[in-house]
Amino acid sequence: DWTPDSFVDETVEALKAQLGNDKVVLGLSGGVDSSVAAILLHKAIGKNLYCIFVNNGLLRKNEYSSVLEQYEGMGLNVKGVDASARFLDALKDVSDPELKRKAIGNAFIEVFDDEAHLIEDVKWLAQGTIYPDVIESVSATGGPSATIKSHHNVGGLPDYMKLKIVEPLRALFKDEVRRVGASMGMDKDILGRHPFPGPGLAIRILGDITPEKVRILQEVDAVFIDNLKSWNLYDKVWQAGAMLLPVNSVGVMGDERTYEKCVALRAVESTDGMTADWVNLPYEFLQKTSNEIINKVKGVNRVVYDISSKPPATIEWE
């Protein structure tokens, strides 16, 4: 019988036997999967697990420092690498969604590769790959659906690194990963976190990316997410976020005409992200959130709510 406790016991024993005294490197994303994988490995090999948490400059507001602190609090051997400038540089003047993903994927590999090379005699690369990722990457070799957007969770690093791969969650579904995390006493703040794409806010800023656009979207997103939490709606939504549109629209403030950015809010219900329905958020919530965004975030004068389901409208706008 599968239980989270027996999974933890058996996996920790198996990892000990497999890894012995070897060093292992793992990239933390802040998400559920890599975090649970890290805690399992930490239980098995302790300080021989070297975690790397990269700031790509496209995370949510304050996420880099707060998540890094959380990881340190869990006792993980974790190194934070702030590579924001490098990523923003790689994205300069890039507008095409797939080119953005490529630029980010390449920058990530470079940064991670540099860091991994600093760990003397590292033998293994650990990944938080779960069963649906395995299926998706298989279909990516042939299936038409996988070429709609290239996701960068699976695939890993260039093989010149010669690291062996260890993936302790490979047989699990998302809900099982959460149960495993809970049985190891992980914070429900991490376990209940909405999915967040690897390319981060880059694919929620339509068109080219500038530091100013990132700042605006971080502020907008923070108001939206904080309000979802304070209205007890966060856990009822599968994923939520804001999109910065490449559109200015006319507004009026006092007796001044404004010509500023428009943002779209998106909140969806889903089980696996393959299909999704927009969430019927209360009008009062939308009203209050929209007012707060427009009052607080300089440069935004209009908020719209995305009422499109997937298919055909994907969750991310890019």
Contact residues toward ligand XMP (CB under 6 A) are 101, 149, 151-153, 195, 197-199, 239, 273, 310, 314-316
Residue 66 annotated as part of some ligand binding site: no
Q: Which residue has the tokens 């994923």?
A: 239
In the complex with ligand XMP, the residue whose CB is nearer, 39 or 103, is 103
Minimal distance in Å, beta carbon 203 to ligand XMP? Answer: 6
DSSP string, 197-216: -TTGGGGTB-S---HHHHHH
| CA distance linking residue 189 with residue 226, whole number of Å | 13
Among candidates 180, 206, 173, which has minimal Cα distance to 317? 206
Residue 93 annotated as part of some ligand binding site: no
| CA distance linking residue 167 with residue 105, whole number of Å | 20
Is the previous residue joined to 311 through a cis bond, with omega within 30 degrees of 0? yes
Residue 180 annotated as part of some ligand binding site: no
Minimal distance in Å, beta carbon 176 to ligand XMP? Answer: 18
Residue 32 annotated as part of some ligand binding site: yes
Q: Which residue has the tokens 């400059």?
A: 57
Minimal distance in Å, beta carbon 170 to ligand XMP? Answer: 17
Residue 35 annotated as part of some ligand binding site: yes
Among candidates 238, 235, 258, 236, which has minimal Cα distance to 248? 258
| CA distance linking residue 318 with residue 315, whole number of Å | 9
Give the torsion sign (CA, 297, 273, 197, 129). Answer: positive
| Rg, C-alpha atoms of the chain | 20
Minimal distance in Å, beta carbon 291 to ligand XMP? Answer: 27
Minimal distance in Å, beta carbon 219 to ligand XMP? Answer: 20
In the complex with ligand XMP, the residue whose CB is nearer, 6 or 147, is 147
Minimal distance in Å, beta carbon 40 to ligand XMP? Answer: 21
In the complex with ligand XMP, the residue whose CB is nearer, 119 or 140, is 140
The gap from C-alpha 123 to its chain's centroid, in whole angstroms, comes to 26
In the complex with ligand XMP, the residue whose CB is nearer, 226 or 306, is 306
Copy the structure tokens of residue 137: 């990457």
Residue 128 annotated as part of some ligand binding site: no
Contact indicator for 213, 203 with CB cutoff of 8 Å: no
Among candidates 77, 81, 32, which has minimal Cα distance to 54? 81
In the complex with ligand XMP, the residue whose CB is nearer, 123 or 149, is 149
Residue 31 annotated as part of some ligand binding site: yes
Q: Binding site for ATP: which residues? A: 29-35
Q: Binding site: which residues? A: 29-35
